[in-house]
Amino acid sequence: MGLHWFDYFIVIASILLAIVMGFYFAHRQKDSSTYFKGSGRVPAWAVGISIFATLISSVTFLAYPGAAYSSNWVLLVQGLMVPIVLLALIGIIVPLYRSIIKLSTYEYFERRFGAGARYYSSIAFVLTHFTKMGSVFYLVSMALAAFMDVNIYLIVAVLAVAIIILTLLGGMEAIIWMDVVQGFLLIGGGLLCITFLLFGVGTPYGPSEIVGTAWDAGKIDVGPYEWNFVETTFWVMVFNGIFYALQKYGTDQTIVQRYLTAKNDHEAKKAAFIGVSLSVPVWTMFMLVGSLLWAYYQLSPDPAVIDPETGSQLLKADAVFPHFISTQLPLGIRGLIIAAIAAAAISSLDSDLNCISAIAVQDYIVKLHPSMTDRQKLNAGRWAVVIASLGVIAIAIAYIQTHGGSVLETIFAFYAIFSAGIVGIFLLGLFSRRANKKGLYVGLIACILFTAYATLTSPMKMPDGSKSALIDLGTWNFTHSKYMLGVYSHLIVLVVGYLASFLFPSDKANDSLTIYGFIKERKSNPS
């Protein structure tokens, strides 16, 4: 079933809206503070929805249903850890950053452990997000090209123009307000999909039969629950999720920069809670979509999805949801869903580009040219957006030409590899007065060596579909789940960095940079 002209109109209108938003806010971008932080004009609810829209990209919209379709909801456990960590630390993290840093999250790392920690952390952020951005760009371009029967490279070009104009001209204000629109599109798209799966598509089975089929098959479950770090188990995702939450809300520029856009500490904390309170239900919603899709095609087999003779799966799990959208949803609804997918990608990519630009300016360009005027910083930030955009386009094209396997697994694997122990640095700085620069660097060296070993000896998917380690050490290969790789790297920095600090003279941390100074300040100024 091809798209109707009205569906095309909806999708094109949603992309044009991003361009219009960029031009609308362009006249306000007269200084670097407005460009990167919005000058405190954005209300907390909008910042919160922007946090949500940044976290929920087209990866969620397409790959989460694919993951639930092929397995169950075990990957959701990662997201369920976020509110727990946030409740424990947000009251400390927000005022700490808002009082210490000007723009870059990694200014805190420099003040606590020196310039080396700042550069290490900011480079890790850039590597992580370039990987993620290229994956998101690839995934949404592939989906839109299939939906609209348009050359994938044309899709890449159109999306790139929209994202660059929005980010380049509109700055953080345009990004946040566009995120608000895109956030509602995303939620509405997910709800429409569930509604049509349960009530509105051609199957004689009702909601209870569809949900019951998924439930009986274990598709609505977060197991397996055994204490096993080799497979993707509940406990693997618990530990991964704890460190994911710490990294996103405590060390990730895309979130910390949102704290700075709020009017005050209270508004920033409120925004963080709004972002999480929206993200967890929406992650769950798209997992449910995948489970319902599996039940729907079991009850009403489609020969394009499942071989009617053998019962074997013909479509890859990641491709089932796009197939359902294009073949089962009615006129207009298809357009809205596809527009939501495009919007989700734009929401994620525009934010990442602005934050990478902020890092480039604050952590590197200003360091090299400390006498820069504010206007020069603004222009440097815009050039950084253009250069970063070109890099992301190149990565997306590389994915198009060579990528294979599950997109979601690839994104999380790269995220773990390039996270590089950042949370370990953050926890050392926040909770230990004794930890010092030299001890941290020993921890970082140990982390790099371990990450290199684990990455090179882990089985990787080859172009022919087989799995092989780049360096085969036999029984000494790293065999644990890649979701644990990031966890181990953070713990190595934390433990080795702390113990190694005792080998060097203590350079007692400024109390205001630790949790102890924060608590002392709170006791003396309870307001």
Annotated domain spans of the chain = 5-400, 420-527
Q: Which pLDDT value is given to residue 395?
A: 82
Supply φ then ψ for residue 468, to 5 degrees: -155, 145
Q: What are 330's two structure tokens?
A: 């009615």
Helix residue ranges, H only, 115-218: 115-148, 152-195, 207-216
Match 């809670």 to its residue by tokens.
Answer: 273
Supply φ then ψ for residue 477, to 5 degrees: -65, 155
In sequence order, what are the beta bridge partners of 313? 306
Q: Which pLDDT value is given to residue 399?
A: 77
Q: Which pLDDT value is given to residue 405?
A: 47
Q: Which residues contact 368 (CB under 8 A, 6 or more apart)?
A: none
Q: Does a cis peptide bond (omega within 30 degrees of 0) precede residue 526?
A: no
Contact 467, 459 (CB under 8 A): yes
Whole-angstrom distance, CA of residue 66 vs CA of residue 50: 25
**Domain 5-400 = CATH 1.20.1730.10:** yes
Q: How far is CA 514 from CA 51, 96, 98, 520, in A?
A: 26, 9, 14, 10
CA angle 144, 275, 45 (to 5 degrees): 105
Q: Which pLDDT value is given to residue 459?
A: 78
Whole-angstrom distance, CA of residue 399 vs CA of residue 417: 18
How far from the centroid of its chain's Cα atoms is residue 429's Cα?
A: 24
* Residue 311 identity: G
Whole-angstrom distance, CA of residue 181 vs CA of residue 50: 9
Q: What are 272's two structure tokens?
A: 């963080």
In sequence order, what are the beta bridge partners of 306? 313
Show pLDDT as tens, one digit a residue, over the chain (527 residues): 567 889 889 999 989 999 999 999 998 898 998 999 987 778 999 999 999 888 877 677 778 899 999 999 999 999 999 999 988 888 888 988 988 888 899 999 999 999 999 999 998 888 888 878 887 888 888 888 888 888 999 999 999 999 999 999 999 999 999 999 988 888 898 899 999 999 876 667 889 999 999 999 999 999 999 999 999 999 999 999 999 999 888 999 999 999 999 989 999 999 999 998 999 999 999 999 999 999 999 888 888 888 877 878 888 888 899 889 888 888 888 999 889 888 888 888 888 999 999 999 999 999 889 889 999 999 999 999 999 999 888 888 877 777 554 555 555 556 556 657 899 999 999 999 899 999 999 999 999 889 889 888 887 665 555 677 778 888 899 999 988 988 999 999 999 999 999 999 887 767 788 888 888 877 777 65
pTM (2 d.p.): 0.89
Q: Which pLDDT value is given to residue 474?
A: 87
